[in-house]
Structure 1
Amino acid sequence: MPPPTSRGSTNHSKARQGTTSVYVSYEIAGQTTQSVKRSSPVNNLLYLFQDERYCMALTAYNRQHKKDIKELKPLQQKALDALVGGADCICCLPTGFGKSLVYEMLPFVDPNSLVVVVVPLNAIIAQQIQKLGSMAICLSKGKDLPTNHIADGTVRYIFTHPEDILNNRKITDFFRQDNVKRLNIYLVIDEAHCILDWGEDFRPDYRQLCQLRAIFSCRVLALSATVTSVGQKQIMKNLLMENCKTVITCPTKENIEFIVLKRPSATARGNCSTTPYDYIFEPFLKELKHMGASFPITVIYCKLIQWIGYARDPDNLL
């Protein structure tokens, strides 16, 4: 972990037998933190600084966005360790784990940073800009960047689509400005599995995102909840991720079940066209009628829309 940027300072007191006291005070996202004093074995000094740095950054994040997050999860901190340490990182964590918090924390951990987030959907951009407020903007073709606000640190996140940031002369010129080159730029690819799923023909610009590394120097964070181990390697290769750290956990969620039922044939003796669907729908609808609003969210896939209508009419089954 590198020391604080030029906006910060550290003072080390005289070391006693095997320990040292550390006073830390530096600016995070435009807010000066309180000094902290703690003692620790000298060989653990780096880890002490990391803990205090994240603690103060999370406090500033909560204050800025009116949140009450008590602490970072170990895997979130591991990803931040990799990025602020100068490495690329790929995070494969379950939906709802808090992957976005990793990049949301970056301006509070690294005061000299700019976070560029590439996302596939307008809905995600709208949600994040609403959440992050004046610190975030949406970049689209034909729209000028608020360069002054980026330079003075007011804007810390830029959200965009691949089609809007690639082959955009205004973007190229912006990132080649001297005051922008001095920033630590983090390029975040949200839903990174789109590089594999959409990059071939549907949205081919996803396969070209590595070109951004020729426009500006950056550390890359690839986020996904669904990519396989083989897919991770393909994403790393596509995004030119060298010295890449991986942050991975099992995607299994205890509150989600995937159930496959073998239904009876409609052509078997004594059966009719509705028999297979009666077999599937009846147990669910009876339990739904009994449990009401407390019935767990359930998705049933049907081959034809006519069977969805059949299930919606309880007179057919109950």
Structure 2
Amino acid sequence: MLEPESITKRATDILRNVYHYAFRQGQLEAIILAVLGRDVVVRMTTGQGKSLFYQIPPLLCQPSLCLIVSPLSALMHDQMEKLRQMNLHVQCFVSVQQISQCSDADIKLSQYVYLSPECAVSSEWRSRLKNLELWDKVCLIAIDEAHCVVEWGDEFRVDFAKLSCLRELASCPVMVLTATATKLTMSRILSRTGIENPTFVKCPLNRKNMYYLATTKKTPTRHQLLQSSSLYSRRQK
């Protein structure tokens, strides 16, 4: 098993040389925990780089496979294309039919597989990995937009409520990521994903590129909005 110091160095090198970024607060901590085999809950605002949390661990644990469950098809395809541009092996399945159409060789080569909740819990996907003897290769299961496990799991997309079955098949850590979740929502997320004693990584909610202005509404509103916009522009200079 890698030591935290080794993980830090290798992860930092990958981020600098492959992604050309520097770590934001909380990112490296969560990556280290995942590589060490700990379940992790990440709460981070939108647009701050949550995808790095699950994209870097497979590069540290080769050969390995990361399963990413997300309800957002467009986002999954966008991330897949970006990873492929970095010469990484990625698949994305949003329908069970796509799973059957993918060759065994492509699945075996994959470092990342993006899955809709419906595909992730399907018998087709679970048996496919079992037949290819790939469950032992899974190093991390990431559940993105995890608040949807509760918000959509009861009626709209019921397979979100069945994700704990993945934990029963793979002896690897689970990482859940969300930008918005109350304490009650979080407890239900953990129950439905099979996580018992996770480490919580809460990243700062403050974003330096955002400016907040509260004022009493007046008439005419359009003129007031133009004044606020002008004030913001002056503060940015």
Q: 2:112 pairs with 143, 146, 157, which one?
A: 157
TM-score normalised to the size of structure 1? 0.63
- Residue 281, structure 1, aligned to residue 222, structure 2: yes
Q: 1:210 pairs with 164, 184, 192, which one?
A: 164
Find the aligned partners of 2:149 and 2:234 in 1 and give their Cα distance.
37
Give the number of the structure whose alpha-carbon radius of gyration is greater.
1
TM-score normalised to the size of structure 2? 0.83
Query: Who is 2:104 aligned against?
Result: 147
Query: Who is 1:302 aligned against?
Result: none
1:54–1:176 Cα change, 3 Å:
same
- Asked if the contact 1:189/1:221 (under 8 Å) is kept, the reply is yes
Q: Higher strand proportion, which one?
A: 1
Query: How many correspondences in the alignment?
Result: 229
1:209-248 residue pairs with structure 2 within 5 A?
Answer: 209-248=163-202
AA in 1 matched with 2:126: T
1:213–1:258 Cα change, 3 Å:
same
- Residue 73, structure 1, aligned to residue 27, structure 2: no
Per-residue CA distance 1:217-267 (angstroms, 9 max, x = gap): 33211011111233222211221112311111232324435666665xxxx
1:98–1:105 Cα change, 3 Å:
same
- Asked if the contact 1:89/1:222 (under 8 Å) is kept, the reply is yes
Query: Who is 2:80 aligned against?
Result: 129
- Asked if the contact 2:149/2:189 (under 8 Å) is kept, the reply is yes
- Asked if the contact 1:176/1:216 (under 8 Å) is kept, the reply is no
Query: Who is 2:59 aligned against?
Result: 108
Q: List runs of 5+ in structure 2 lacking aligned partners.
A: none
- Asked if the contact 2:65/2:139 (under 8 Å) is kept, the reply is yes
Deviation (angstroms), 1:47: 4.5
1:287–1:243 Cα change, 3 Å:
closer
Q: List runs of 5+ in structure 1 lacking aligned partners.
A: 4-45, 264-275, 297-318
Find the aligned partners of 1:85 and 1:258 in 2 and give their Cα distance.
39
What is the percentage of aligned positions where both structures have the same residue?
Answer: 25
Per-residue CA distance 1:141-186 (angstroms, 9 max, x = gap): 11223321332xx3211112112222x2321212213631331331
1:72-91 residue pairs with structure 2 within 5 A?
Answer: 72-91=23-42
